Amino acid sequence: MSQSRLRRAVVALTALPLLALGAGQAVAAPAPTPAPAPAASKVTAIEDEAARTLAASLTDPALRARLRTATAETPAGAELAPLAEGLTGTAARTLASAAARADRSVAAAKGLGADLGPLLRVQLADPSMRAALDAGAAPLVATAGTDEHAGTVRAYDTAGRVHILDARTLPTRPVYLVDLDTAKALTAGIDLLQRELAARGVGSAAPSAPAAPSAQAAAGWWGTKITSVEVNDDEEPWFKGAAEMFSLVSGFGPDGKVRVDSVAMPYLQYDGTVYYPNQILVNWSNYKYNLADVVLMEDDGDTNYLALAQAVAAVLLTIADQGAYIPLVNAVLAALPSSWWTDDPDYVESWYTLARTSTGRLNGARGNGWMTVEPYWVGQL
Provide the pLDDT for residue 12.
Answer: 32
Query: What stretches of 24-134 adopt beta strand conformation (E)?
Result: 78-79, 120-124
- Residue 87 · residue 63 · CB < 8 Å: yes
Give the C-alpha separation, 231 to 369, whole Å: 4
Give the C-alpha separation, 282 to 294, whole Å: 9
Nearest to 303 by CA among 34, 116, 80, 112: 112
What's the residue count for the chain? Answer: 381
Q: How does pLDDT run across 18-73, given as a tens digit for each residue?
A: 323 333 333 333 333 333 334 347 888 899 999 999 999 999 999 999 999 999 98
- Residue 347 · residue 297 · CB < 8 Å: yes
Strongest mean pLDDT among 164-178, 194-208, 241-255, 300-314: 164-178
Q: How does pLDDT run across 170-194, given as a tens digit for each residue?
A: 898 999 999 888 778 878 887 887 7
Provide the pLDDT for residue 284.
Answer: 94
DSSP conformation letters of 95-120: HHHHHHHHHHHHHHHTT--TTS---E
Q: How does pLDDT run across 67-123, given as a tens digit for each residue?
A: 999 999 887 789 999 999 989 899 999 999 999 999 999 998 888 887 888 999 999
Q: What is the pTM of this model?
A: 0.64
The answer to whether the Cα torsion of 53, 59, 63, 66 is positive or negative is positive
Q: CA angle, corner 238, sides to 234 and 242, nearest 5?
A: 70
- Residue 50 · residue 178 · CB < 8 Å: yes
Q: How does pLDDT run across 268-318, given as a tens digit for each residue?
A: 877 788 999 999 999 999 888 888 888 888 766 666 777 777 777 777 666
The percent helix, strand, coil of the chain (3-state, each to 5) is 25, 25, 50
Across the chain, how many H-helices and E-strands are there? 7, 14
The torsion defined by the Cα of 215, 218, 222 and 227, in degrees rounded to 10, comes to: 180
Give the C-alpha separation, 122 to 108, whole Å: 20
Angstrom distances, CA of residue 16 to CA of 194, 236, 282, 359 = 16, 26, 14, 21
For the chain, state the CA radius of gyration.
Answer: 22
